[in-house]
Chains A and B, each alone.
Chain A
Amino acid sequence: MNSRMGVALLSVAGVLISAYLWMFKHGYIGTLACGTGACETVQLSPYSSFLGVDVSLLGFLGYAVMLGVSLVGVQPAWLDRPGPSRALLLLAGGALLFAAYLTGIELFVLHAVCRWCVASAVIVTLIFVLAILDHRRFARR
């Protein structure tokens, strides 16, 4: 198992969580497994959209792109090429900044922390760490 495979697996988990949150917001899932009600507060707040697009949809697309890049990166022909590493580092860095902004909104503006959003932030952080490790393979050369 290499770093890119780890990124792919984490991206699938991210895609599923984003899909879950998007489906909840649009009423396709009646029960959000979140006992505190904080997810409802976060998901129904004005901050659940960014520039008119659902944050969960942005997350879904972001994870899907990272999944695509990492799947290309695990192919034998691409395994030792730095392109996927650079792309993953760039994508994961952007995602990490966005996750930090959203976590800040939860903590300091909404005063409600949705555990699914926390799970997504943890996934993004792990992907970023794996992207750095993968990138260092080429930096050392």
Chain B
Amino acid sequence: MAATSSLNRFYLLLLVLAVGGGGLLFWQMRSRGPSIPANVVVTTADTAGFSGYYLGDSAATVVITEYADFECPACQTFDVVQFPDVRRQLIEGGKVRWRYRDFPLNIHPYSRVAAHSAACANDQGRYWEQHAVLYQGQGQWSRETDPTSTFRDYARQNGLDLSAYDACMKSAKYAGRIQASYDEGVRVGVGSTPTFLIAGRLYEGVQNSDALKKLVDSLAAAVAAAQ
């Protein structure tokens, strides 16, 4: 009798654990919000002729690759506070070619959708405009249940053809490109965002525009001395 009672308690405990854990897994699946699929198989077509979003002179001495996540607060700080100076002093000054790569962290549920929204804007030649508003509005859309309509509003503000934008978002056509960008980051050793790849070295965290200017100047001087 006591053995049966003990066995029944055990079955009850087992059931609670299995149902509770299974329920948590199910809830995780359901609560991921609007999404662009992660970990998709990257095809050759996803990366053909595309190695990132560029700004600046292709003949610039220094190339800086930024691996960033639209939902990462530190990336927003860099983009809003430091990047305007970097753009004015280094990129428009012809010293640096800037290369932006998506590195959507899985802890941020909307970063892939945001990256895809920017990719769709790129189809219409408005990548950097969409990029800027996505970072500026991060504090608002990152708290929404479904930020896709906010991204669409940004697209409208940026003068995009909304029917083409909607078709692009619906097809998730750049999911593979975003994954390829993430995979590249993993390959070069990126573990957090933002991370900057400059002359073969990784610089983690928000970089000060003055520090970047000093670094770029020293790299440019080293290249000039070597020639």
Contact = CB atoms under 8 A, between A and B. Distances in A.
A35 B3 CA distance: 44
Interface stretch (B10-18, B48-56, B153-161, B212-220): B10-18
B104 to A, nearest CB: 10
B162 interface: no
A28 B14 contact: no
Interface residues of A, number: 29
B10 A5 contact: yes
A118 B146 CA distance: 34
Contacts of A29: 25, 28-29, 32
B21 interface: yes
B192 A31 contact: no
Contacts of B39: 25-27, 44
Contact of B107 (A5, A9, A12, A31): A31
Nearest to A16: B21
B68 to A, nearest CB: 14
A118 B37 CA distance: 27
Contact of A9 (B3, B13, B33, B37): B13
B105 A16 contact: no
A29 B30 CA distance: 8
B145 to A, nearest CB: 14
Contacts of B37: 27
A127 interface: no
7 contacts: A20-B28, A25-B39, A27-B37, A29-B29, A30-B38, A37-B105, A40-B186
Interface of A: 1, 5, 8-9, 12-13, 16, 19-20, 23-32, 34-35, 37-38, 40-41, 44, 74, 76, 112
